[in-house]
Chains A and B, each alone.
Chain A
Amino acid sequence: MRSPLIPEMATQEVQLNETLTHLKTESETLKSKLEDERAKLHDVELHQVAEKVEGLGQFVMKTRRTLKGHGNKVLCMDWCKDKRRIVSSSQVTHFMLLKTFMLLEHAVTMPCTWVMACAYAPSGCAVACGGLDNKCSVYPLSLDKNENLAAKKKSVAMHTNYLSACSFTNSDMQILTSSGDGTCALWDVESGQLLQSFHGHAADVLCLDLAPSETGNTFVSGGCDKKANVWDMRSGQCIQSFETHESDINSVRYYPSGDAFASGSDDATCRLYDLRADREVAIYSKESIIFGVSSVDFSLSGRLLFGGYNDYTINVWDVLKGTRVSILFGHENRVSTLRVSPDGTAFCTGSWDHTLRIWA
C-alpha cells in the first residue's frame, strides 16, 4: 500500500530541479531494482530449494584397498563396467590393469611419459590411453597375461598437443578426446578417422564427460579458459557455455540424471550447473580449502559429490545442501584422479604418492 505522504510543492524552479533530480535517481533506482528482481528469480539457489530435504547422517568412509605398483605419480584411472577392475596410468610409461578386488595386476609399457588419460572400453575388452605423445591409442586386452599388449595397439587420435582426457562413447568403436591444443574430437577406433571436431575453447581443454541422457548426444568439457562447454556431438556446435570459475577447470562430471553437471577447478571450488536453468546453482567451497580440485564425481543418487584436492585430501559434499559432510585423509601427495565405481559401491582415487585407494 502506498504511503499517505504527499510530495510537497515549492517554488517553480526548485520544484523542477527536484523533479529532474528525482527523475534521474528514480530511473537508476528502478533500473537496478528491476535487475535485482530478475536476478532474485534467477538466483534461487539449490540449497534454498532443498531446505526441506532431510540432512545426511555421519559417514564412515575408509580406505578399503591400497594399490601400489606404479612406482611413480598416478595421473588417471577408470573403472571397468564389471565394477571391480580398473585401469590406471602414470607419469612414467605405463598403464596398469588392476583386478582391484584381487589386487592382481597386468602392466603395459607405453613409449611416452605422462600418460594423463586412460579409459576402459564399455565391453571391458580394451583400454585407451595417451598423454604427452599427443595421441590416444587403443589396446585390445587379452586373456593371456604374458601377451605383449603394446604389439596390438591401435593409434586412433592425433592431436597437435597433449592428450588430457579420453572416453569411449556407448561402444568400443568410438572415442572422444580432449587436448592441450584447445579442441575436443570424436574418432572412429577401427580406422582412426576423425568423425567430428569441437572448437570453442580458448585454451587447453583439460577434461570431458559424456552425458547419460536418453538420447545421449552431448558431452561437457572444461578448460584453462575457465569455461565449461556443452557440445552437440552431431553438429560439433557448442550449445551451452558456463564461465563462473576463477581459474582452470580440471574436471567435469554429469549428475546421474544428465540434467546438471559438476566442475572442479584450481580456484578451490566445485560448482554445479543446471542445464535447464542454464546457470550455476551451487558452489561447494570453504574458507579452509585453498588448494585446487583435480577431479570430481557423484555418488549413484547424485546426493554426494566427491572431490579430490591438491592438498592431498578428499572432500565429500552434500550436493543439495551445499555443505561439506566429510573430509578424508590418507594420501601423501596430491589426489590427481577420482572416480566412483559403476554401481556406486565405492570410489577410487589416484595420487602423486604413487598409490591408488578404494574408499567405501
Chain B
Amino acid sequence: HTHTHTHTHTHTQAERMYCMFSCFPVLLEMQDLKTGVKSQPQRLVITTIPHAITGEDIISWLADRFQVDTQEARSFGSMLVALGYIYPLQDHKRLVIKPDASLYRFQTPYFWPTQQWPVEDTDYAIYLAKRNIRKKGILELHEQEHYNRLHKWMNHKWDFIVMQAKEQYRAAKERKKPDRVVFDCQERAYWVVHRPPPGTVSAMDYGLDRLIDPNADEVTGESLLVKYCATYNSHDPFLSKCLPSNPWLTDDVTYWTLNMPYVEMPTKMRVERWTFSFAELLSDPRGRNDFRLFLKKEFSGENLAFWESCEDLKWGEAATMSEKAEHIYKTFLARGAPRWINIDGKTMEITVKGLKHPHRYVLDAAQTHIYMLMKKDSYGRYQKSPVFKETVKKAICPEEDAQLEQNAKKRRPSLSPIILRQMEQEQRAKMAATVDITQVMSKLSKQRKEAPPPPCPPPCPPPKK
C-alpha cells in the first residue's frame, strides 16, 4: 500500500507536541511478538478482532517494563490512548486504560497523529460525509454541528468532499467484513482523538501558539545583515562614489580633510550616519560633540560624562584603576555628588557594593543603564532638536571632482597622529573647563563644600573599522 505523508505541522507546533514522537520506542516494544503485550483474537459480537489486548495486560506490561506501580503504568497507558496510539474497542469515547479485561488495540500507523498534524478540516468533512452516506442520522450531536459548520465554510469544495466520501465508501464496501469492521474502529478512534466530543479533555490541546519561535529569529538575524548592507551601501567607497573623490584614485585629499575627526562642519553623509544608530553617533568624535552640546542644553550632560568615564575605566591603565573608580563614585554616584546620575535603586546598590572591590567592569551595570537611557530617550530627542537641525543645515555636500594629474603634484604629508593627539587634548581641556558649570555651582552653594576637580573626559574611543 502506498500513501503520502504530508508534514504540514509547523515547527512550533511539532516542538510543542514532541511527546508524539517520544513514545515510538515504547510502542515498538509493546508490539513485539515475543516480549510485547500479550495479544489474541477476540470475539466481539459476530466478528473476530485480531490483536486485541486487555487493559490489565497493558498496565502490567508497562509496570514491569518501567519498574513502576500500577497507578503510574495506568496513567502512562492512558496517555498513549489520549494521543491515539492505542484505542479502546468498547466505550470508545473514553480515552483511558481500564484496569480490567476491557479490550484495546494498537492503532495502525496510517492513523498515527504524527502522520499529519494538525489534522485538516477537509479530512474531517469527508469522514462525516461518508458516515452520513452510509446511514443518515448516525452523526452525534456535536458531529452534526461540525458537519453543518463545515458545510457552510467549505461550500465551495463540497462537491469534491462528497466525491471523496463516496469513493471511500465504495472502496470500503469491497473489503472483507472483518477488515471493514477493524478499519471503521480505527477510523472512529482517530476522530475521537482529533475532534473530541465537547467537555472532554484532549491531549491534542497544547494551549497557545508561542509567538516567538527561536528559530524564526534566524531569518530575522540574516535579514539584519541584508538591512545593514542596504543602509550603508551609499557610504561604502567600493560601492558608491566618495565625494569629492576617493583620495586613492585621484590623489586629492579633500575627502579626508572634510572628514577629519573634529572638523567644524561635517559632511552631509557623515551626519546621515549619525542617524543610523546611537553607536554610530557616539563613535564619531564630531557626532559625540554635537550630542554633548545637545545634552548640555538639556542639563543632562552628566550621563554622557559618566559613560565616558566608564569607558576610561574599562580600557584604561590598570595602575590607576582604583583611583579612577573612586573618582567616578564621588563625581557621579555618591549622595549629593556634583554630577549625580539617575539610576534605579537596584543598579545603584549593585554598583556601590562592587566599588568596595573595584575592577575594570565594576561599573558595567550602571554604564549599560545610562547607555540605554541615552539611546532610548536622549538620542531620539537629539535628532529632533535645534542643535541637530542646525548641524544638518550647515553640513557640507561636496561636489564630484575627478581631477587627476594636477593632484599628484600636490601631494603633501599629513599631520602626524602625535601632533593631532596634542591638539585634541588641548581642545578637550578647554571643553572640560566650561561644561555644566551652572550645575556644579548650584550644588556647591547647597553643600558649601570645596569644588571637586572638573572631570576630564577620557580619550574618545575611535570607531571600529
List of B residues within 8 angstroms of A344 by Cβ: 235-238
Q: A1-B122, A4-B168, A345-B246 are in contact. Are A319 and B225 (CB under 8 A)?
A: yes
List of B residues within 8 angstroms of A46 by Cβ: 222, 225-226
Smallest CB–CB gap between B261 and chain A, Å?
8
- Interface status of A228 (Cβ within 8 A of chain B): no
- Interface status of B217 (Cβ within 8 A of chain A): yes
Q: Would you call B223 and A104 a contact (CB within 8 A)? A: no
List of A residues within 8 angstroms of B364 by Cβ: 234
CA distance A249 to B226 in the complex (A): 25
CA distance A72 to B230 in the complex (A): 41
Q: Would you call B255 and A345 a contact (CB within 8 A)? A: yes
CA distance A215 to B366 in the complex (A): 12
Smallest CB–CB gap between A82 and chain B, Å?
6
List of B residues within 8 angstroms of A42 by Cβ: 215, 218
CA distance A303 to B114 in the complex (A): 43
Smallest CB–CB gap between A282 and chain B, Å?
9
CA distance A29 to B21 in the complex (A): 11
CA distance A124 to B419 in the complex (A): 10
Q: Which of A2, A59, A277, A279 lies in contact with B238, CB distance below 8 A? A: A59
- Interface status of A281 (Cβ within 8 A of chain B): yes
List of A residues within 8 angstroms of B31 by Cβ: 16, 19-20, 23
Q: Would you call A30 and B24 a contact (CB within 8 A)? A: yes
Contact with B along A317-352 (1 / 0, CB 8 A): 001100000000000000000011111111000000
Q: Would you call A101 and B411 a contact (CB within 8 A)? A: yes
Q: Would you call A303 and B233 a contact (CB within 8 A)? A: yes
Q: Which of A7, A8, A26, A301 lies in contact with B235, CB distance below 8 A? A: A301
Smallest CB–CB gap between B246 and chain A, Å?
5
Contact with A along B302-326 (1 / 0, CB 8 A): 0000000001101111110000000
Q: Please give me the residue from chain A that is nearest to B237 by CB atom.
A: A345
Q: Would you call A5 and B1 a contact (CB within 8 A)? A: yes
Q: Would you call A320 and B226 a contact (CB within 8 A)? A: yes
Q: Which of A4, A211, A303 lies in contact with B236, CB distance below 8 A? A: A303
Q: Please give me the residue from chain A that is nearest to B228 by CB atom.
A: A257
Q: Would you call B461 and A360 a contact (CB within 8 A)? A: no
Q: Would you call A256 and B228 a contact (CB within 8 A)? A: yes
Q: Would you call A30 and B219 a contact (CB within 8 A)? A: no
- Interface status of B146 (Cβ within 8 A of chain A): no
- Interface status of B7 (Cβ within 8 A of chain A): yes
Of residues 232 to 284 in A, which have CB atoms within 8 Å of B's CB atoms?
Answer: 234, 254-257, 259-260, 274, 276-277, 279, 281
Q: Would you call A24 and B28 a contact (CB within 8 A)? A: yes
Q: A1-B120, A9-B175, A234-B364 are in contact. Are A80 and B417 (CB under 8 A)?
A: yes
CA distance A16 to B236 in the complex (A): 68
Q: A23-B28, A173-B315, A276-B217 are in contact. Are A281 and B222 (CB under 8 A)?
A: yes
Q: Which of B183, B238, B259, B279 lies in contact with A299, CB distance below 8 A? A: B238
CA distance A172 to B171 in the complex (A): 83
Q: A9-B175, A44-B222, A122-B461 are in contact. Are A101 and B239 (CB under 8 A)?
A: no
Q: Which of B2, B109, B167 lies in contact with A26, CB distance below 8 A? A: B109
Q: Please give me the residue from chain A that is nearest to B182 by CB atom.
A: A9
List of A residues within 8 angstroms of B21 by Cβ: 30-31, 34
CA distance A212 to B226 in the complex (A): 18
Q: Please give me the residue from chain A that is nearest to B24 by CB atom.
A: A27
Q: Would you call A195 and B218 a contact (CB within 8 A)? A: no
Q: Would you call A123 and B421 a contact (CB within 8 A)? A: yes
List of B residues within 8 angstroms of A276 by Cβ: 217-218, 220-221, 224
Q: A19-B109, A33-B7, A41-B215 are in contact. Are A174 and B315 (CB under 8 A)?
A: yes
Q: Would you call A44 and B218 a contact (CB within 8 A)? A: yes
- Interface status of A143 (Cβ within 8 A of chain B): yes
Q: Would you call A302 and B228 a contact (CB within 8 A)? A: yes
Q: Please give me the residue from chain B that is nearest to A346 by CB atom.
A: B248
Q: Please give me the residue from chain A that is nearest to B413 by CB atom.
A: A102
- Interface status of A151 (Cβ within 8 A of chain B): no
What is the total number of residues of chain A having a CB less than 8 Å from a CB of chain B?
108
Q: Chain A's interface: helix, strand, loop or mixed, by majority?
A: loop
Which of A109-117, A186-194, A199-207, A288-296 is the contact stretch?
Answer: A186-194
Contact with B along A63-101 (1 / 0, CB 8 A): 011000000000000011111110000000000000101
Q: Which of A22, A211, A299 lies in contact with B109, CB distance below 8 A? A: A22
Q: Which of B5, B178, B236, B463 lies in contact with A9, CB distance below 8 A? A: B178
- Interface status of B108 (Cβ within 8 A of chain A): yes
Smallest CB–CB gap between B257 and chain A, Å?
11
Smallest CB–CB gap between B122 and chain A, Å?
5
- Interface status of B204 (Cβ within 8 A of chain A): no
Interface centre among B4, B178, B235, B360 (most CB of A within 10 A): B360
CA distance A299 to B221 in the complex (A): 20
List of B residues within 8 angstroms of A84 by Cβ: 247, 256, 414
Smallest CB–CB gap between A344 and chain B, Å?
5
Q: Would you call A38 and B222 a contact (CB within 8 A)? A: no
Contact with A along B138-173 (1 / 0, CB 8 A): 000000000000000000000000001001100110
Contact with B along A207-223 (1 / 0, CB 8 A): 00011111111000000
Q: Would you call A342 and B463 a contact (CB within 8 A)? A: yes
Q: Which of B116, B246, B417 lies in contact with A82, CB distance below 8 A? A: B417
Of residues 16 to 72 in B, which have CB atoms within 8 Å of A's CB atoms?
Answer: 21, 24-25, 27-28, 31-33, 41, 50-51
- Interface status of A160 (Cβ within 8 A of chain B): no
Q: Would you call A50 and B226 a contact (CB within 8 A)? A: yes
Of residues 387 to 425 in B, which have CB atoms within 8 Å of A's CB atoms?
Answer: 411-414, 416-421
Interface centre among A8, A9, A19, A174 (most CB of B within 10 A): A9
Contact with A along B111-126 (1 / 0, CB 8 A): 0101110001011000
Q: Which of A6, A122, A301 lies in contact with B232, CB distance below 8 A? A: A301
Q: Would you call B51 and A16 a contact (CB within 8 A)? A: yes
Q: Would you call B228 and A124 a contact (CB within 8 A)? A: no
Q: Would you call A343 and B361 a contact (CB within 8 A)? A: no
- Interface status of A304 (Cβ within 8 A of chain B): yes
List of B residues within 8 angstroms of A339 by Cβ: 465
Q: Would you call B114 and A30 a contact (CB within 8 A)? A: yes
CA distance A174 to B419 in the complex (A): 22
Q: Would you call B229 and A9 a contact (CB within 8 A)? A: no
List of B residues within 8 angstroms of A299 by Cβ: 236-239
Pairs across A and B, CB under 8 Å, 11 listed: A2-B115, A9-B182, A12-B51, A23-B31, A46-B222, A101-B247, A234-B364, A299-B236, A300-B238, A301-B231, A304-B239
The 5 closest A-B pairs by CB, nearest first: A124-B417, A212-B464, A301-B232, A301-B236, A9-B179
